[in-house]
Structure 1
Amino acid sequence: MSYIKLDLQYFSQEKTEKATDKKKQDTRKKGQVAKSTDVNTAFILLVVFLFLWMFGGTLGEKLFAVFTHTFQEYMLMELTEQSVPELFMELIYESVVVVLPILLVSMIAGIFSSYIQVGPLFAPEAIKMKLSKIDPIQGAKRIFSVRALVELVKSLLKIALVGTVVFTILWLNLDKVLVLSQKSIGDGFAQIATLAAIMGIAVALLLLVLAVPDYLYQRYDHAKQIKMSKQDVKDERKNMEGDPRIKGKRRQKQMEMAMQRMMQEVPNADVVITNPTHFAVALKYDGEKMAAPVIVAKGVDFVAQKIKGIAKDNNVITVENRPLARALYAQTEIGDVVPEDLFKAVAEVLAYVYRLKNKEV
């Protein structure tokens, strides 16, 4: 018996169930999402090299102007306590003009590539300092894990493919490379920049293609990591059902739905018996289908006023009978038939209603 108990306990703790919506939300708040860094890297590289392909000439001219200005003017300046800070600030400004557009493009590409993978997400808990992150035992487990093996295989594959792509591009442009020594510095620099941009775009496209299966694997691995055991699912359901806020919201929703259904029945009622200000009870009677009149709606105060308003809008007759309205409200629920001790009083009201309807006809 003890062995059977241990086996059952083992299977109840085995993580075989898909994560619930609540578990997914909780892990998302912690920053644990399915995300491929390869997608970010490839997309950033592609956007940056495309940017350099289109605007590299302008940036190159600015960079060339910085070098020209530096060697023609700054090298001849007298270095003093006043000139050094000014020189330093001018160099920083001119360097920022060249570098800042590339950094901005990289930042936008990185944000966009993350957004298309995980959507809008701000998880401060993911950057909190945790001692478990520097635990050597856990680190060793991560190094000698299936994930680490997959990452190694991916890296080797990427190195081989990237090397092949770069070699192919250089081989196809070998004649241009061999005549670089015969060109001017400007033309040679432009030729090298063009080749570098072509290789960068080609490598980025290759990495982007390789990132697609990696992203799919990350989603699979993430779903596997957050799987729950049957006991976890049961505990979560108990906690949710025991949460007063969730209970309150569920109860409020049920009351709203019941109120809506009740109000939808008022236009079909034969009569609404009122207090007249505090109570309202709507009755329906079909002699061919019902043995006795049925309560289709009832309410007190605000709900009573709403029932009377709907009855008025739908030409349902309202009859004032204080003792009968109170008795019906106290002794019956929605869907109940009229109690036997109130048959006579209700029959009189219905007879009065039918007489009015016949007169109207």
Structure 2
Amino acid sequence: MTEKEISIKSSLETILVPTQKLDQIIDDTLFNPPVQNKKSKKRIYQVAAAAVLILGIGTTSMISSPAFANFVAQIPVIGNVFGYFATDNYESYSSFSESVGLTQSSEGIDIVIDQALFDGTSVTLSFILKSENPLGDTLQIKGQPVVKGVDGKNTNLKFEYVENVGYVGLYTLTPNFESEMAQVSISWEPDTIITEKKEVEGNWAFEFAVSQISKEPIILDEKVKTDGVTVHLKELTVTDVSVNIEYQQLVEPSLLEEWEFVEAELIASDNLGNVYKVPYNGGSTDGSARTREDFNWTATLRGLNSQATSLTLYPIAQVSRFNTETEESESKHLEFDAIKVDLINQSHSLVEDPTIPTLPEEDLD
């Protein structure tokens, strides 16, 4: 084996490959290519970049094969999408996610589902969207992915346009899981792609499953109250890639006689002095709500320092209204007692009248 081949082989050993699908992927793509139906504009592929590289060692004759060349041409930056969102603390997601490798094409637009991760609370899937023609710097997708068989959902989309790659994006789904699930099934049928340059109606459809990664739930069940607003911190879940918090805001009906909207959020700090933004994934009401502003929230902290042994949660809330006389919005800021969570023994304690830490400048909106 040449020095170059040894170097390639060493690199390949660090790539996670979906081994159960690998044989079928190779067989379907190289030896049994699908027959193209000229009446249909849709085609589906399963791709694995690592599989191509493995075949490249010691199989030079295959590289000259037209089928192999076509297969390579279909592969975008597989396994790399989470890396484009490192500034949002998604660096570790690639290591713990499952490779999906599904591609569908319609109306000249390829959508690739790259990887997916289920942490027990939310599902995050990475994708790439490519077009034969430039689409511009904005993106809207009609038809969101859903977790099959689970009622309710909060869905968040973030994306970046990358030159010579296309759009790279992340969908985060936070449905209302009523029980523990070892695996979930995802369905995604986008029907329209909207950008600043065009609107494309197409036919893309995906279905796949993803298993839950390990997690450590910590039950909090602590309530803190200020000026008619109660924040009920229910549960904190630590996983290999994130910290998920479930909490609820409860609003006294009398408060809404003067104010219109209430929005409770969280800031966190660890024992090492790091301060973290804890953006919520979305909120919903349930049958126990006494007011229109009683919400159940889920929020996710990413990038927790691996050496941290405790985490303090600081609830804050914004109460606002629209003044019809001045035609301006008015608001007031509320602060609450904090909850300190020991990540080692999974205990927690109340911190009265804390000093709310300041977020790093890059996390300020």
Q: TM-score, normalised by structure 2?
A: 0.18
Higher relative contact order (CA 8 A, sep 6+): 1
Question: Which structure shows the higher helix fraction?
Answer: 1
Q: Tell me which structure has the larger Cα radius of gyration.
A: 1
Q: TM-score, normalised by structure 1?
A: 0.18
Question: Which structure shows the higher strand fraction?
Answer: 2
